[in-house]
Amino acid sequence: MLPSEITDQISKELDKAIVDKNSERKKRTYLGGSSLGESCSRKIQYRYLGTESDKGRDFTANTLRIFQFGHEIEDSVAQWLKNANFDLRTEDKKGEQFGFSIADGEIKGHIDGVICGGPVSMGYPCLWENKSANDKKFREFMMKGVARTNQVYAAQIALYQAYMNLTEHPCLFTVLNKNTSQIYYELVPFNKALAQEMSDKAVNILDATKAKETLPRVAYSRDFFDCKWCEFQDRCWS
């Protein structure tokens, strides 16, 4: 067994490399369809402007590993669907992820995939979106469904269906339980009202930003749950 000081050094070097690598990534210069369902428009506006996170509130190495794990889970579920003879398309002819860009590139989104056919009698083509969750959240998805469990995911699905012209058939939404590897399946019909609400929200954020207006907070106290976990909490409430 290695001495604790050695393992601590290994951990620090590994974490530093992960954080440094992430810092090299270019920040988004557009509104992402995956985040428009966030409750606070000011938070989304800060992200759109490329605002620096509060000191000490950047993603930790552990969080970044969780994100990476989520991408790898998505690849695994995609392969399992293909192995089960679902005609799942995850890339275009150029080998790039399917997506959309509107409002002169100010609003963009990248989808997990489109299912064009398969062994099950369901509507094709349909959007496919995949997530992963711990056991507690997974059970919530099973009991309540995506619309009542995660408003960000629900908004993302509705927007992607709208902008990718995949509104005729329900989206296949899958969630893999990171504790048990069980998979939850849900067919999510197109929610036109939600898609319109999110589209209007995006336009409002763009208009306010161009007018140099700061959008209102979601809450009246920094103790509000969503504010506690916001990377811009200090900046927003100072």
Q: Is residue 4 part of a domain?
A: no
pLDDT at position 69 is: 84
pLDDT at position 1 is: 61
pLDDT at position 54 is: 85
- SS3 for 176? strand
pLDDT at position 111 is: 96
- Any alpha helices (H) in 111-186, and if so which ranges? 135-144, 146-149, 151-163
Q: Is residue 56 part of a domain?
A: yes
Supply 25's token pair: 């990534």
pLDDT at position 225 is: 85
Q: Is residue 8 part of a domain?
A: no
pLDDT at position 223 is: 86
Supply 225's token pair: 């749950």
Q: Is residue 154 part of a domain?
A: yes
Question: Cα separation of 187 and 172, whole Å?
Answer: 5
- CATH number, domain with residue 80: 3.90.320.10
pLDDT at position 209 is: 95
Number of domains composing the chain: 1
Question: Cα separation of 204 and 8, whole Å?
Answer: 48
Q: Contact, 123 vs 47, CB < 8 A?
A: no
Please report, as a single letter, which amino acid is at residue 69.
F
pLDDT at position 27 is: 74
pLDDT at position 181 is: 96
User: What single-letter DSSP state applies at residue 174?
Assistant: E
The pLDDT tens digits for 65-98 are 988 888 899 999 999 999 999 999 998 888 888 9
Q: Is residue 204 part of a domain?
A: yes
pLDDT at position 22 is: 80
pLDDT at position 2 is: 61
Q: Is residue 230 part of a domain?
A: yes
Question: Cα separation of 227 and 126, whole Å?
Answer: 35
pLDDT at position 138 is: 97
pLDDT at position 19 is: 84
User: What single-letter DSSP state applies at residue 97?
Assistant: B
pTM score over 0.85: yes
Domain that holds residue 49: 13-237
Q: Is residue 174 part of a domain?
A: yes
Cβ-proximal residues to 35 (8 Å cutoff; 6+ apart), any chain: 44, 47, 152
Q: Which residues of 150-170 are buried (b: 16+ CB within 10 A; e: fewer)?
A: beebbbbbbbbbbbbebbebb
Low-confidence ranges of the chain (pLDDT < 70): 1-3
